[in-house]
C-alpha cells in the first residue's frame, strides 16, 4: 500500500467562550486547525487533525503545520501508511524537530492502518480497556466560589475529573482556591491543579508547601524541567508535567530522575501516537500515571486522545480531555465518540472512527500528489 495524495485543509475553530490561561496572561478565542486527508492506492483513506492551542501557549503554530507538511510531502508520498515507524523516520529525516507538524500525518496513517486491519486504533496500540475514560473539565481561574460553581456544573453532567487552573503572583489567593475546592471535593473526584508554568520557583514553593497536608497534584508548577527539579526538591506534593514533556528523552529524564508522578501527554505537542505510545510505556514501567490530551481541536483530536487513553490500564490512566464541547462548530456531526456523562468511550469502529463532513472544511489549501 502506498500513499498517493495528501490534501490539506485549514479551518478556524471558534471557542464558545474566550479562554484565559492560568495567571490570566493569555487569552484564546479561535484555534487554527489543520485537517489532512491521506489517500492511498488501495482506496483506503485516513484523516488527521493538528490543532495547537493558539501560537502563544507552547512552541506550535497552525501555519507551521501546513508549511511542515509542504516540506515533508515528497518524503511522505509513496510510503506505506501501515508502517507508521517508517513514515515517522521519513518525516524526522526530512524535517528534524517540528513534532507538532507531524502529528496529523501520523494520525492519518494510524487511521488507515486500523481500517486495513479492521481494528480501532486503541486495539492497535495494544488493546483497549472495556470501560471508557473520564474526561476532565477545564476550570478557568477565578474566585474560589466561581471555580467551585464551574466544578458543580460539570459534576451535574457526570464529570468526575477536573483540571482547575491556578497560578500567578497572588499566592494567598491560590492557597484559598485550593483549600476551598478540596473542602468541597467529592470522594470520587480527581482534581488536578494546573499551573501552566505561571509560578516562579518561590511562588511554587510557598503554595505547594502551604497545602502539602492535602496531597493534591500540581501540573507544570514551573517553566522548565530544571525549574520542576528544583521545585520538586523543596516540596512534597505530587507533580504532573505536560508542557515540558515533549520528547522521549524528556520522558526518560522525568522518569529516571523522579521529577514527576504524572505525565500529561498532549498528542500534538509530542508528535502523534507513534511517539506518544513510547512515553506511555516509559510511564507504566516507572509507576507514573497519565493524563492524555489533544492540545485542542475537534472531535477528531479528542478521539485520537481517547484511543491512547483507552489503551492504558486503569491503574495508570487519570483522565483525558475533550475540547469538542468548547467549540461553536462541529466538523463531523454524527461521527465519532462524544463525551457522555463525563466519559468518552471508543467503540470497535476500525481506525480512528471519525470522518469529517468535507463540505464543512471548504476547499483544500494544498494538495500534494
Ligand atoms: Mg496542563
CA of residue 219 relative to chain centroid, distance: 14
Helix (H) or strand (E) holding 39: strand 27-40
Does residue 352 form part of some domain? no
Percentage of residues of the chain with pLDDT beyond 70: 99
Does residue 10 form part of some domain? yes
Residues 299 and 364 reside in one and the same domain: no
Name which of 23-27, 32-36, 243-247, 291-295 the model is least confident about: 23-27
Does residue 135 form part of some domain? yes
CATH of the domain at 91: 3.30.390.10
Residues 33 and 144 reside in one and the same domain: no
Please state the rounded mean pLDDT for residues 206-218. Answer: 98
For strand 317-321 and strand 133-139, is the pairing parallel, antiparallel, or unpaired? parallel
Q: What is this structure's pTM?
A: 0.96
Residues 260 and 197 reside in one and the same domain: yes
Distance CA 19, CA 28 (A): 5
Name which of 12-26, 108-122, 327-341 the model is least confident about: 12-26
Residues 169 and 201 reside in one and the same domain: yes
Asked whether the predicted pLDDT for residue 321 surpasses 80, the reply is yes
Q: How far is the CA of 118 from the centre of ligand 1 (A)?
A: 34
pLDDT for the residue numbered 22: 65
CATH of the domain at 325: 3.20.20.120
Residues 325 and 217 reside in one and the same domain: yes
Residues 71 and 215 reside in one and the same domain: no
Task: Domain count for the chain, please give it.
Answer: 2
Which structural domain range is residue 176 located in?
123-344
Residues 76 and 156 reside in one and the same domain: no
Rounded (10°) angle between helices 273-285 and 99-117: 90
Give residues with Cβ within 8 angstroms of 226, minimum separation 6. none
**Residue pLDDT, tens place only, 253-279:** 999 999 999 999 999 999 999 999 999
For strand 343-344 and strand 366-368, is the pairing parallel, antiparallel, or unpaired? unpaired
Residues 211 and 271 reside in one and the same domain: yes
Please state the rounded mean pLDDT for residues 212-219. Answer: 98
Residues 110 and 129 reside in one and the same domain: no
Say if residues 301 and 351 touch (Cβ distance below 8 Å). Answer: no
Please state the rounded mean pLDDT for residues 53-72. Answer: 93
**Which of 11, 115, 128, 165 does the annotation list as catalytic?**
165
**Which of 11, 115, 128, 266 does the annotation list as catalytic?**
266
Respond yes or no: is residue 266 known to be catalytic.
yes
Q: How many other C-beta atoms lie within 10 A of the C-beta of residue 146?
A: 12
Respond yes or no: is residue 165 known to be catalytic.
yes
pLDDT for the residue numbered 194: 96
CB atoms within 5 A of ion ligand 1 belong to 194, 219, 242
From residue 302, alpha-carbon distances to 39, 109, 143, 183, 293 in Å are 22, 17, 29, 31, 7
Residues 60 and 128 reside in one and the same domain: no
Residues 88 and 142 reside in one and the same domain: no
Instruction: Report residue 343 as a C-alpha cell.
Output: 466519559
Q: How far is the CA of 138 from the centre of ligand 1 (A)?
A: 10
Q: How far is the CA of 263 from the centre of ligand 1 (A)?
A: 10
Q: Is 148 helix (H, G, I), strand (E, B) or coil?
A: helix
C-alpha triplet 355, 292, 166: angle, nearest 5°: 120
Does residue 309 form part of some domain? yes
Does residue 349 form part of some domain? no
Residues 221 and 78 reside in one and the same domain: no
Amino acid at each position: 500500500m502506498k500513499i498517493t495524495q495528501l490534501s490539506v485543509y485549514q479551518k478556524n475553530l471558534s471557542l464558545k467562550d474566550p479562554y484565559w490561561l492560568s495567571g490570566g496572561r493569555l487569552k484564546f478565542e479561535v484555534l487554527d486547525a489543520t485537517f489532512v486527508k491521506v489517500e492511498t492506492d488501495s482506496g483506503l483513506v485516513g484523516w488527521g487533525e493538528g490543532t495547537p492551542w493558539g501560537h502563544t501557549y507552547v512552541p506550535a503554530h497552525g501555519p507551521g503545520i501546513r508549511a511542515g507538511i509542504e516540506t515533508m510531502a515528497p518524503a511522505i508520498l509513496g510510503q506505506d501508511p501501515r508502517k507508521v515507524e517508517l513514515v515517522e523516520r521519513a518525516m524526522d529525516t526530512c524535517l528534524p524537530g517540528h513534532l507538532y507538524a507531524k502529528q496529523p500525518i501520523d494520525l492519518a496513517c494510524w487511521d488507515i492502518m486500523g481500517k486495513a486491519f479492521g481494528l480501532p486504533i486503541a486495539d492497535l496500540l495494544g488493546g483497549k480497556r472495556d470501560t471508557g475514560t473520564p474526561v476532565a473539565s477545564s476550570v478557568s481561574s477565578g474566585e474560589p466560589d466561581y471555580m467551585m460553581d464551574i466544578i458543580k456544573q460539570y459534576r451535574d453532567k457526570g464529570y468526575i475529573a477536573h483540571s482547575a487552573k491556578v497560578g500567578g503572583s497572588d499566592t494567598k489567593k491560590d492557597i484559598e482556591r485550593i483549600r476551598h475546592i478540596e473542602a468541597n471535593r467529592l470522594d470520587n473526584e480527581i482534581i488536578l491543579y494546573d499551573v501552566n508554568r505561571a509560578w516562579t520557583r518561590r511562588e511554587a514553593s510557598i503554595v505547594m508547601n502551604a497545602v502539602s497536608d492535602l496531597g493534591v497534584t500540581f501540573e507544570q508548577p514551573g517553566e522548565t524541567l530544571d525549574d520542576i527539579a528544583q521545585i520538586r526538591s523543596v516540596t512534597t506534593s505530587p507533580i504532573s508535567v505536560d508542557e515540558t514533556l515533549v520528547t522521549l528523552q524528556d520522558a526518560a529524564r522525568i522518569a529516571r530522575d523522579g521529577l514527576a508522578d504524572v505525565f500529561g501527554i498532549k498528542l500534538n505537542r509530542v508528535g502523534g501516537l507513534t511517539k506518544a505510545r513510547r512515553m506511555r510505556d516509559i510511564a507504566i514501567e516507572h509507576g507514573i500515571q497519565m493524563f492524555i490530551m489533544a492540545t485542542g481541536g475537534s472531535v477528531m483530536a479528542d478521539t485520537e486522545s481517547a484511543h491512547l487513553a483507552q489503551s492504558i490500564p486503569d491503574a495508570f490512566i487519570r483522565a483525558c480531555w475533550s475540547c469538542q464541547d468548547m467549540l461553536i462548530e462541529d466538523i463531523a456531526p454524527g461521527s465519532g465518540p462524544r463525551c457522555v456523562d463525563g466519559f468518552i468511550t471508543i467503540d470497535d469502529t476500525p481506525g480512528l472512527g471519525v470522518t469529517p463532513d468535507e463540505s464543512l472544511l471548504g476547499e483544500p489549501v494544498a494538495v500534494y500528489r
